[in-house]
Amino acid sequence: MNDVTTDECCWQAVETRDGNADGKFVFAVKTTGIFCRPSCTARHPLRKNVLFFLSPDDAAAAGFRPCKRCQPDKVAPEQQRAERIMQACRIMEASPEPLTLETLAAQVAMSPFHFHRLFKSIIGLTPGAWQKALRTQRLRDRLADGEKVTRAAYDAGFQSGSNFYQQADAALGMTARQYRQGGERATVQFVVGCCQLGEFLVAESERGICAILLGSSAEILIAELETLFPKANLIAGDAAYAQRVASVVSLLEHPGRDIDLPLDIQGTAFQQQVWQALREIPAGSTVSYQDIAERIGKPKAVRAVAGACAANRLAVVVPCHRVVRRDGALSGYRWGVERKKQLLSLEAEQRKK
């Protein structure tokens, strides 16, 4: 690795023992003939004695031998743990019915407590919540294919019992039959207004706020809502609803605040993972698409992360405006890069106060 900027970044990772850099490169020490992973806990060598290599094989080919402490030629412990979690996800995807925490933990050779904590830290959802999102996506897919409601719910993994339909309806944000018919007869009320970000539309289903859209005109926003809910019964919100929307407007103009309203966040299991990770980004901070992909345990899914951000219906509540390119430059935003810039500027100003 000859690039000066790259070498400086690598050295910084070595100095801070950055575990996130493990697997991306190794460093070798000329005076000892040993190469290590960036997070190695051994005493730091002098910078002038350090060389960087893209892989352990490259370092070995140059005549260096692996460190016995950090074992850079083997799979990193963090990666081993992440692979166990990915294995658990595959087990859940293959199972026709929900699995208990104890069953999942046993299948990946971990204690239930450790497995639950590690799964939440990597995926962003608990195993139970992840399975619920997976069942919901299966149900959506089957209903969209025209499968009968009862059969679709059973096939998706919803268990029989008195709360059978209640579980399915809560997951979809409307009755399963309404979803199968494209949201027909589901009632969604909305309000259009203006704030410092421009025109906005806030829509609410029976479950909670289901859309917060930004745009340049009320007509465009209403047309977008009609596209999102093609067969729903769209009605203008009453005075009581308009008062509830005031807290949403406050959030749009002060994006660091919390919202105290029920939310109807619908999406695939993957989208739910991404959106949960986005909601954990502190106001005034930014991360890259790569960062989000790594946080949810899918470092190669950068494009899919960008797609999940683009599919977000809840502006600011799910703060996809806090995601930027890896070099820090602003990238696309569903509601315009200028608004993204404005939101980040508002958060930066509020953080200083």
pLDDT of residue 162: 47
Q: Note whether 52 and 35 are within 8 A (CB).
A: no
Fold match, 77-185 / 269-352: yes
Strands of 233-236's sheet in order across? 209-215, 198-204, 187-195, 233-236
DSSP state of 104: H
Collapse the DSSP code of 27 into the 3-class scheme (helix H, G, I; strand E, B; otherwise coil) and give the result.
strand
Tell me the DSSP string of 54-102.
SSHHHHHHTT-EE-TTT-TTS--HHHHHHHHHHHHHHHHHH-SS---HH
- Per-residue pLDDT averaged across 224-233, rounded? 84
**Given a cut of 50, is residue 59 above it in pLDDT?**
yes
pLDDT digits (tens, 9 = 90+) for 169-213: 555 555 555 555 555 557 889 999 898 888 999 999 877 888 999
pLDDT digits (tens, 9 = 90+) for 104-161: 999 988 899 989 988 887 777 788 888 877 777 776 666 666 666 566 666 656 665 4
CATH of 269-352, one of 1.10.10.10, 3.30.365.10, 3.40.50.12160, 2.40.50.100: 1.10.10.10
Task: Tokens for 324, please give them.
Answer: 């930027």
**Given a cut of 60, is residue 323 above it in pLDDT?**
yes
All residues at 6 or more sequence positions from 256 whose CB lies less than 8 Å from its CB, including other chains: 283, 284, 347, 350, 351
All residues at 6 or more sequence positions from 227 whose CB lies less than 8 Å from its CB, including other chains: none
All residues at 6 or more sequence positions from 171 whose CB lies less than 8 Å from its CB, including other chains: 132, 135, 136, 139
Give φ, ψ of 51 to 5 degrees: -120, 150
Q: Considering only CA atoms, which of 227, 224, 228 is closest in space to residue 199?
A: 224
pLDDT of residue 51: 95
User: HSE of 284 in the Cβ direction (CA atoms, 13 Å)?
Assistant: 10
All residues at 6 or more sequence positions from 12 whose CB lies less than 8 Å from its CB, including other chains: 18
Calculate the CA 314 to chain-centre distance.
14
Task: Tokens for 174, please give them.
Answer: 């409307």
Active site residues: 36, 320
Q: Note whether 332 and 296 are within 8 A (CB).
A: no
**Given a cut of 80, is residue 263 above it in pLDDT?**
yes
Whole-model pTM: value is: 0.54
pLDDT digits (tens, 9 = 90+) for 16-42: 988 878 888 999 999 999 999 999 999
CATH of 187-253, one of 2.130.10.30, 3.30.300.100, 3.40.1350.10, 3.30.160.70: 3.30.160.70
Strands, E assignment, 198-274? 198-204, 209-215, 233-236
CATH of 4-66, one of 3.40.10.10, 1.10.40.30, 3.30.365.10, 3.20.20.70: 3.40.10.10
CATH of 77-185, one of 3.40.50.360, 3.40.50.970, 3.30.465.10, 1.10.10.60: 1.10.10.60
